[in-house]
Every structure is written in C-alpha cells, then in structure tokens.
Amino acid sequence: MSGGPDDGARERLVSLAAARGVSLAALSALIGRNTTYLQQFVRKGSPRKLEENDRRTLAEFFGVSENELGGVQRGTAVAAGQGRQGVPAARSAPAEWADIPRLPLGASAGPGAMPVEEIPSGRLRFSHRWLKAQGLEPAMLSVIEVEGDSMEPTLRDGDEILVDRARRALRAGIYVIRLDEMLLVKRLEPGPAGTVRIISDNAAYPRLERPIEHVELVGRVVWKGGRL
C-alpha cells in the first residue's frame, strides 16, 4: 500500500499519535471502534478512508484540521494567500490546548500505592474542543500512570489514565480511589444499603464490598492511553 491519496492522512495520524504518546488501539477505543480498527486503517488501508464522524473526533482530540486526516478542504482561495475579491484568506485559528498535569503517584491496579505529594512531573496535552465535547473541565483533570495487573485487560501496567476529579454522583465505572490509605484504580458499582462494590477486571483478584463512606473517590477515569 503506497502512493494512494489517503497515505498522507495515515502518516499524519501515526505522527500525531506518536507525538502525543497514545496508541492506535486507544484512539480506536476513543472513536468507539474495536482496538485494531486504526491499525488496519494505517497498515492495510482498510477502511480506505476515515468516516466523517471518526475523523472529526480524532481531529478534535488532536486539535488539528480535519483536512490533515483526509477531510475535504471546503472552499478554494482565488489566489495564493487571497480569498474572494482580493481579501486575504483567513488563516486557521491556532489549536487551543489544555496541558493536563501528569502526577508522579501511581494508581495501583495491584496491591496498592501509598499516596505521595502531588507535584506534577510533566504534562499531557489535550484539545480544548475535545475536552468540551466530553463535558470535562481542564482544571479538574489529572493524568496518572497505572501500576500492576489487577485491571487487565482493560488497563495494563504503564497505561496512563485521565482522571476527572469533578464531584459527581457515583455511577458504575472505573475510578481512582483511596481505601485504607492506599491509592487504587478499580471498577465501582453501587451496592445495597449504602455500600459500593470494588471490582478488579482481572478475575485473579477478589471483589470487595465496603460502606461508601469508607471509600474516598479521587476521580472517575475518562480516558486511557498506552503502548501496544
């Protein structure tokens, strides 16, 4: 597969993913596809081009024009650098980014990590447009790294997760919690009589059930990224 009209979009997608440190599998999950979807797009040319909704979601996530991912440019300038009637063509507005702090503490998907001082060790950049579309406020977000194997295959050791710390009602999902002074990432489900079920996706680990007041909700996991 070479020389096709969409090769540039494939190369650009790979470049953007590498620069952001996010896998094609994670991006496939982002657009609601199976984890091999974008690998097949890049390596086998199937699909031949991205569907409009998928392309828009990826462009918003990376903060780039859809044209870079195979979209059709709308409108053509009369001359280089000019629009109609000799008016200079409008330049694309610069991408607006949110730099989300990476915290050095690990959210353990295993025995548990002791909380440490939350001093950022770097930042991961997300598009403001994509965050807004997800209903997320940048000031309430943190990126942390998963440690351990208790949430496999959903989360693997070394994956990075985006955690929304906004106060919201508990509903079923994956959360970072503090339990018995340990920091954990687990799947939570509301239980009976004011309890919460604490679940590891890896069946080798036992399920727990605790009173909700004994579990501190640090935040809900809303995105993951990691190596293949």
Q: Domain 97-225 adopts which CATH fold?
A: Umud Fragment, subunit A (2.10.109)
pLDDT of residue 71: 75
Distance CA 79, CA 62 (A): 29
Residue 18: count other Cβ atoms within 10 Å of its Cβ. 11
pLDDT of residue 65: 84
| pLDDT tens-place values along the chain, 228 residues long | 444 556 788 888 888 888 777 788 778 877 778 878 888 888 888 888 888 888 888 888 888 888 888 876 544 333 333 333 333 333 444 457 888 888 766 665 555 554 444 555 678 889 888 998 899 998 888 898 898 899 999 999 889 999 998 888 889 999 999 888 888 999 999 999 889 999 999 999 999 999 999 999 989 999 998 776
pLDDT of residue 1: 43
Question: Directed axis angle between helix 7-20 and helix 52-62, to 10°?
Answer: 40
Q: Where exactly are the structural domains of the chain?
A: 7-71, 97-225
pLDDT of residue 150: 92
Helix (H) or strand (E) holding 189: strand 182-190
Q: Evaluate the omega torsion of the peptide bond into residue 153 and state whether it is cis, within 30 degrees of 0.
A: yes
pLDDT of residue 186: 95
Distance CA 16, CA 18 (A): 5
pLDDT of residue 91: 42
Using alpha carbons, list the distances in angstroms from residue 138 to 27, 98, 101, 134, 142.
20, 6, 10, 11, 8
pLDDT of residue 75: 43
CATH of domain 7-71: 1.10.260.40
Beta-strand relationship, 216-225 and 173-179:
antiparallel
pLDDT of residue 188: 97
